[in-house]
Structure 1
Amino acid sequence: MRAIGIILAGGNNHRMKELSQKRAIAAMPVAGSYRSIDFALSNMSNSHIQKVAVLTQYNARSLNEHLSSSKWWDFGRKQGGLYTFTPTITPDNSFWYQGTADAIYQNLEFLKNSHEPYVVIASGDCVYKLDYNKVLEYHIAKRADITVVCTDVHGEDATRFGCLKMNEDCRIEEFDEKPMVAQSNTISAGIYVIRRRQLIELIEKCGQEGRHDFVRDILIRYKNLKRIYGYKINTYWSNISTVESYYQTNMDFLKPEIRDYFFRQYPGVQSKIDDLPPAKYNPGASVKNSLISSGCIINGQVENSVLFKKVFVGNNCVIKNSIILNDVYLGDNTHIENCIVESRGTIRANSYYSAEEGIRVVIEKNERYVL
């Protein structure tokens, strides 16, 4: 493909509450065996983009470990590859990334040293499948300066996103970033296509003027000066940047049609693979409509839940409508309902956790690993 990829994965969102205290949003586990960033990386690989840069910053240790080898997404090649860029101190700059445009500005040499004519910019905290080739073809056909991938939201708070309005030719006429009141249910999906040289020019101008945000300082500021078009998608798309949306996205994977779309329909989603034994169901275990990952041992009852890798469920446990993250030990007679249990936790026997309203995040002191 005639494009390079940039994945913005450095941000933090306080709406994730305790879940973002130990990892970046792009490293959040999704659908039992995946990380959020796997979907953007797989889309890049499946679209034959051979050179991808991931810009990380906040709590990046877990994310950097996940990206330690590029072979899982087929980027281990002589031409191109997977690059991870974090903020670095230079004689001219000692700042962290001050925004999305500043993150690109601090790594502008990556763009200048590339030869592909186009750039695909994507966010690392969205769950979706998309062929970026189709967006690029649309971008060229419209003779656009920037193309913004957008989608319609129904029953979800559109004020969390950038809301936009397009004319009959799909040119964006209005763009309002995280408005107090949403005037449209069409939102930006956080995916952009732009010519590489024009991106360099716009980012350099932002840097000279002390502007740091890609949406506010490029998309909104230039919407009447540049030809900015919207490319609407109607397939599954979800952003996991709040506890509620993260919970709902994982629950969506309990629906057969969603699992079929992501995991059985070509192209697939790739991720880093751990060498773990298959899940083990001991006598007395009962599992209904749940995702159980490798390395789990089930002794109790699991219903409408997602269990990530290496979860141990003790005797007479009841887990309903919950998400149990990696490497959690659930003691005997534990009852968990409408909760998200943080990874590497130990839930003592005879514990009871439930949320009457909303979703409860459960974090227990981990006694198994204390010296």
Structure 2
Amino acid sequence: MIKHNVISVVLGGGKGTRLYPLTHKRSKPAVPIAGKYRLVDIPISNCLNSGYNRIYVLTQYNSASLNSHIKNTYNFSVFSKGFVDILAAEQTAEGERWYQGTADAVRHMQRYLAHHDYDHLLILSGDQLYQIDFQEMIEQHITTGADISIATIPVNAKDATSFGILKSDDEANITAFTEKPSSDRLAGWESEVSDEMKAEGRVYLASMGIYVFNKGVLSKMLEEHKGMDFGKELIPDSIGKYKVHSYEYHGYWTDIGTIDSFFEANIGLTDDIPKFNLFDKHTIFTRGRMLPPSKVSGTILDKVVLADGCIVAAERIERSIIGIRSRVGQGTVIKSTYMMGCDFYQTLEEIAQIKEEGGILVGVGEDCYIENAILDKNCSIGNNVRIKGGAHLEDGDFETHSIYDGVIIVKKRAIIPPGTEIG
């Protein structure tokens, strides 16, 4: 294995308002995904699988649960120089304001980087789903003599309007950049791509928000350029001044910054051969929990991802993800739903007392129907509840749930009384 001298930085993002209410009490990288992971596990796992184990995670909003997850998950041997550390925004002698953008966040962490020996800084987003061998990207970066490398992915004209679009020459050097161009401005922004991509109409190179910087180049840019954001300011201004190279990626990649994309990415994991394959040699690392195996009684399961420690007695579950420690009662039907699960078990004594007092157990009760929904952690859904999302529903935010893009999101720790109908 080639040893590259790399430090990785995972950008935690801002308030994550487009993922509300999932980000109401947690930072975006801490949002649970696939029933047992957190979003931040994806970029960290890509780094570790690539042999890069010096990682900083930058965050500033609702970082308590993210701190806890990092602390309880990524512990290296005392004989290793590896680390995964949180750097939260803080008041210092140099400034009292929070991070104003991606470049501003990295600018503020320069004093931490000064204590490390490294040649390249790998900058990643904390809200994307993909599997990349970063060694290949770093190796290409070195071989081509690039100052900056940007991971790019070919997209079609419809998707191009949502990304920063790059123009490259025959040697994959980036020559121009435009941020989220309107459809009538796309003419002339086509790049040279493979015949397969051309056949699919994917002729525009979109920035994936994944960057490699040479140490000296990054320090100089951050000192000379007072811009706050890489994608909007520093990267466009670097073209022509530095050798900026495109690392073209052809695998699965999606930005999951909205409820719609988050929901589709999770439900897509239930496909027979999902585009993002969890059953792969590239391990997705996460917190190791000493949970019992899941127990299923009389339930028909079809295209279901079932995490550890679940107790399921439903009538039928299809095309859904059932997260850790989930409890589902008899007679319940769940379709196209992501149930995030629970952080704890209720004891038999607690269950008996709750029933005696007419309360509602954590999990999903009996004889419920749930479709096109996200059930956040630790919610309690009573018996005979009907929750059915769909395109006919208007967006809205309510006490126990929200509706966005036709998906009903039951909020964390929400209590839904028996007989309730939503949707």
Q: Return the offset for 1:224.
A: 2.2
Residue 283 of structure 2 corresponds to 268
Aligned match of 1:203? 222
1:101 Cα deviation from its structure 2 partner: 0.9
Q: Deviations over 1:93-112 (max 9, x none)?
A: 11111111111111111222
The C-alpha deviation readout for 1:168-205, integer Å capped at 9, x for no partner, is 21112222223344736421111111111211111122
Which structure's CA Rg is the greater one? Answer: 2
Q: 1:65 to 1:137 in 2, by over 3 A?
A: same
* 1:363 matched residue in structure 2: 411
What are the ranges of 5 or more consecutive residues in structure 2 without an aligned counterpart?
190-203, 343-361, 392-405, 417-423
Tell me the equivalent position of 2:251: 235
What residue in structure 2 maps to residue 337 of structure 1? 371
The structure-2 alpha-carbon separation of the partners of 1:70 and 1:338, relative to structure 1 and needing over 3 Å to count, comes to closer
- 2:401 is matched with none
- The verdict on how the C-alpha distance between 1:322 and 1:218 changes in structure 2, with shifts beyond 3 A counting, is same
Within the candidate set 341, 344, 361, 1:326 is matched to 341
Correspondence list, 1:341-352, <5 A = 341-352=375-386
Match of 1:249 in 2: 265
User: Conserved in 2, the CA contact under 8 Å of 1:111 and 1:196?
Assistant: no
Equivalent-residue separation in structure 2 for 1:69 and 1:329 (angstroms): 25
For the Cα contact (< 8 Å) 1:279–1:296, is it kept in 2? yes
Aligned 1:57-76 pairs, distance under 5 A? 57-69=60-72, 71=74, 74=76
Counterpart contact for 2:146–2:243, Cα < 8 Å: yes
Alignment correspondent of 1:218: 234
**Number of equivalences:** 362
| Paired letter, 2:171 | D
**Residue 419 of structure 2: aligned partner:** none
Alpha-carbon separation, structure 2, partners of 1:54 and 1:77: 22
Partners of 2:381 and 2:73 in 1: how far apart?
A: 35
1:298 to 307, 312, 315: 312
The question of whether the paired residues in 2 share the 8 Å contact of 1:111 and 1:200 is answered with no
> Which stretches in structure 1 are left out of the alignment for 5+ residues?
none
1:146 corresponding residue in structure 2: 148
Alpha-carbon separation, structure 2, partners of 1:157 and 1:89: 39
Deviation at 1:359, TM superposition (A): 1.9
1:105-120 map, 5 Å: 105-120=107-122
Distance 1:262 1:268, change over 3 A: farther
Q: CA RMSD in A?
A: 2.1
- 1:134 maps to what in 2? 136
- Distance in 1, Cα, partners of 2:237 & 2:407: 38
Q: 1:292: how far off?
A: 0.9
Query: How far has the Cα of 1:334 moved from its partner?
Result: 1.2
| 2-structure distance, mates of 1:158, 1:76 | 46
CA distance in 1: counterparts of 2:160 and 2:29, whole angstroms: 21
- Listed as ranges, the matches of 1:9-88 within 5 Å are 9-69=12-72, 71=74, 74=76, 77-88=79-90
SS at match of 2:7: strand
SS at match of 1:353: strand
Give distance in 2, aligned partners of 1:53 and 1:175. Answer: 28
Deviation of the 1:38 alpha carbon: 0.9
Asked if the contact 2:381/2:415 (under 8 Å) is kept, the reply is: no
Relative to the length of structure 1, the TM-score reads: 0.91
Find out whether 1:280 has 2:299 as its counterpart: no
